[in-house]
């Protein structure tokens, strides 16, 4: 098979995967939990909400890095590491995702699901298409290994790498 065909097949597979990931959140809103009482928008995100956003973004970074670095040419065996972390820390990650969702519902009451889907897609797209290198994959593997060793507390501490970006994106309530 010519090399152009292989590249085209990989690009088509990646496009299908991205499209599926972008469409799934649309269906999640259709089956979401019962409506919650809406709180008045504050125009800012609390420290807990910012922390939840940090952890969600760090989790997405690890997940997408693990997927990319598990494949050729790096073959770092990172996908099974991520799956174990997801299994072990899943309940805590869901709790942070719920805190984040509640903040979006409060701040964007008429369009919360759409805003959340757009932000999720933006973050995933960035990390899924991040240029891979041996240095990046070594770093992802180290983060995964350290997270496996230190558990939830280590995950929380490492999640602060997104703090500046989040403070620029969402107005903190404590300013």
Domain tally for the chain?
2
Quick one: 46 and 85 in the same domain?
A: yes
Quick one: 152 and 119 in the same domain?
A: yes
Q: Is residue 56 in a domain?
A: yes
CA distances from 78 to 115, 120, 141 (A): 30, 22, 6
Three-state SS string over the chain comes to CCHHHHHHHHHHHHHHHHHHHHHHHHHHHHCCCCCCCCCCCCCCECHHHHHHHHHHHHHHHHHHHHHHHHCCCCCCCCHHHHHHHHHHHHHHHHHHHHHHHHHHHHHCCCCHHHHHHHHHHHHHHHHHCCCCCHHHHHHHHHHHHHHHHHHHHHHHHHHHHHHHHHHHHCCECCC
Is 16 a residue whose pLDDT tops 60? no
Is 6 a residue whose pLDDT tops 80? no
Residue-wise pLDDT tens digits, 141-160: 999 999 999 999 999 999 98
Quick one: 28 and 86 in the same domain?
A: no
Global pTM exceeds 0.85: no
Q: Is residue 99 in a domain?
A: yes
Its domain, for residue 18, covers 1-33
Is 82 a residue whose pLDDT tops 50? yes
Token pair recorded at residue 127: 């990390």
Quick one: 10 and 85 in the same domain?
A: no
Quick one: 134 and 52 in the same domain?
A: yes
Quick one: 92 and 26 in the same domain?
A: no
> Residue 53 in contact with residue 162, Cβ under 8 Å?
yes
How many other CB atoms sit within 10 Å of the CB of residue 156?
Answer: 17
Q: Is residue 90 in a domain?
A: yes
Q: How far apart are CA 170 and CA 166, in angstroms?
A: 6
Q: How far apart are CA 41 and CA 43, in angstroms?
A: 6
What pLDDT shows up at residue 19? 45
Quick one: 14 and 56 in the same domain?
A: no
Quick one: 15 and 76 in the same domain?
A: no
Q: Is residue 149 in a domain?
A: yes
How much is the mean pLDDT over the chain?
Answer: 82
Quick one: 70 and 151 in the same domain?
A: yes
Quick one: 12 and 79 in the same domain?
A: no
């Amino acid at each position: 098979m010519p090399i152009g065909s292989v590249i085209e097949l990989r690009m088509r597979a990646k496009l299908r995967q991205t499209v599926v990931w972008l469409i799934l959140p649309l269906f999640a809103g259709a089956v979401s939990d019962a409506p919650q009482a809406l709180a008045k928008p504050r125009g800012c995100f609390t420290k807990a909400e910012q922390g939840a956003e940090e952890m969600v973004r760090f989790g997405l970074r690890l997940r997408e890095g693990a997927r990319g670095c598990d494949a050729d040419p790096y073959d770092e065996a990172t996908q099974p590491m991520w799956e174990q972390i997801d299994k072990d820390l899943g309940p805590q990650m869901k709790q942070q995702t719920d805190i984040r969702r509640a903040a979006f519902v409060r701040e964007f009451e008429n369009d919360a699901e759409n805003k959340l889907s757009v932000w999720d897609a933006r973050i995933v797209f960035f990390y899924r298409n991040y240029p891979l290198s041996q240095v990046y994959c070594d770093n992802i593997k180290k983060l995964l290994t350290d997270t496996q060793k230190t558990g939830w507390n280590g995950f929380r501490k490492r999640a602060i790498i997104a703090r500046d970006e989040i403070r620029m994106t969402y107005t903190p309530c404590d300013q």
